[in-house]
Amino acid sequence: MSDASTPGDAEPEPEHDHEHHHDHEGPGYATPQAAIEEGEREKLAYVMSLYVGTDVDASDFVAVVDLDPESETYCEIVDRIELPNRGDELHHFGWNACSSSCHMEGLERRHLIVPGQRSSRIHVIDAADRRNPELETVIEPEEVFEYDLSAPHTVHCIPDGEILISMLGDADGDLPGGFLELNDDFEIEGRWEPPGEIEMNYDYWYQPRQNVMVSSEWAAPKTYYPGFDLEDVEEGNYGHQLHFWDWEDGTVEQTIDLGEEGLIPLEVRFLHTPESTHGFVGAALSSNIFHFWRDQTGEYRAEKVIDFEDREHPDWDMPVPALPTDILISMDDRYLFGSNWLHGDVWMYDISDPANPRRADSLSVGGTFGDVQEVQGRELSAGPQMIQLSLDGERLYWTTSLFSSWDEQFYPEEGERGSVMLKADVDPRKGTMELDEDFLVDWGECPDGPARAHEIRWPDGDCTSDVWQ
């Protein structure tokens, strides 16, 4: 049986008071259940938007998207925080504080930490005014390279108010990667882990009550920057391991090799309940989902629990893998959601028993095989990619860009037409999803030209950034 229990203080802005009614002093919510009960419906989204790999000569930007159905600008990009340089390749981002710091008096979930994957430049955006955030400061790449790190990826706040960023390469774009730590003044504090703890890096998640962090692997930046190359698979240049860390010491306690069925373990999630040691990771290239957990001896185990079959397509010389590039866990820890970027579907599994996920539903939309290939007459260029779920688990959103050079390789139309953001209405009681064909946000209509869209965040916390201590 599952061990899942089903259980800030920024200035108020006109339409949405993000000071929650809770009895703690810091940002976020006291528990995952409080996030469900106290969180309001999402009315805005922040979305990574980029021009890297397109014909448009413009800087990347953070899009502010109106998600309020009662608004006149519903489904529109209502603000763009344009960044000062070109070629950053915005990818993943995070908050300076989340529910892990809900005990920290005076700390606010106010600043977005926005790295450039290719540039290694780190932007700090003040989002006190949720509808009109402003760029506050920039950490230039040379400052990052001093710590022999590059290619920032996952941003998590940590409970004492500092910020930890996974870095995929060294200063030259080779291995090993590591972790960069920022202090609460957004200055580089230093390298978080002793150098040499790992070779490859990608995503990570921590569970402070269990004193554990888990990290996954993609490859060296120089390997994945140009695009996917089958020779890199044959030469062993892609990752296939999970690393379990002592959270307080910042050292690797255990490494699990997932083997050929665990190639490129990307997004990695613990269940939200802070007592749990169960989690999941998607192995993109092997089209598998692994469940991991700590057993009675204190060792972590990992087992493949979901397998997506390859599919034949007349335009492909080889069977098309599903490429599950993103996963998330609903705030009540009942459902695991994910995207199959190449096949073109989003899916949900009931993980009430995490060792035996049960398929609940899926939607076939976009991608190579999707049943739905256009919405509101807008032709879809790629498959579902980055996903985000409402706190109440009733609305699933997704965008369609993976990484500029990989987009160009598998869906070149994505750079010409731009990305879209789509939505499904979810019934968590029945375990079903239905595509909302009235919802479409189109990055093909941006003023400077079509742009790509990647990760999504809510202003007041979400299923992929909040951690509980």
**Helices and strands (H, E) in the chain, number of each type:** 6, 31
pLDDT of residue 26: 86
Find out whether 322 and 310 touch, Cβ atoms under 8 Å. Answer: yes
Residue 377 counted as domain residue: yes
Give the count of domains, the chain: 1
Residue 225 counted as domain residue: yes
Residue 429 counted as domain residue: yes
Residue 43 counted as domain residue: no
pLDDT of residue 19: 44
Residue 12 counted as domain residue: no
pLDDT of residue 7: 34
Q: Residue 326: what are its φ and ψ, rounded to 5°?
A: -145, 145
Find out whether 79 and 131 touch, Cβ atoms under 8 Å. Answer: yes
DSSP characters over 291-338? EEEE-TTS-EEEEEEEEPPPB--TT-SSPBP--EEEEEE-TTS-EEEE
pLDDT of residue 106: 86
Give the pLDDT means over successive 10-residue stretches in the chain (469 positions): 36 42 78 95 98 96 98 98 98 96 89 98 98 98 98 95 97 98 97 96 97 98 97 97 98 98 98 97 98 97 98 95 98 98 98 98 98 98 98 98 98 97 98 98 97 97 95
Residue 11 counted as domain residue: no
pLDDT of residue 22: 54
The residue assigned the tokens 């790629």 is 382
pLDDT of residue 12: 38
Burial 276-299 (b: 16+ CB within 10 A, else e): bbbbbbbbbbbbbbbbbbbeeeee
Give CA–CA dist 237/225, Å, rounded. Answer: 13
Give CA–CA dist 460/449, Å, rounded. Answer: 30
Residue 10 counted as domain residue: no
Give CA–CA dist 298/396, Å, rounded. Answer: 35
The residue assigned the tokens 């590039």 is 325
CATH code where residue 271 lies: 2.130.10.10
Q: Which residues are registered as beta bridge partners of 398?
A: 387, 422
Q: Residue 175: what are its φ and ψ, rounded to 5°?
A: -90, 155
The residue assigned the tokens 């920039």 is 138
DSSP state of 364: E
Find out whether 290 and 305 touch, Cβ atoms under 8 Å. Answer: yes
Which residues constitute the domain of residue 160? 48-457
Enter the tokens of residue 150. 């590059």
pLDDT of residue 23: 64
Bond prior to 176 in cis (omega within 30° of 0): yes
pLDDT of residue 129: 97
Residue 278 counted as domain residue: yes
Query: CA-based Rg of the chain, rounded to a whole angstrom?
Result: 20
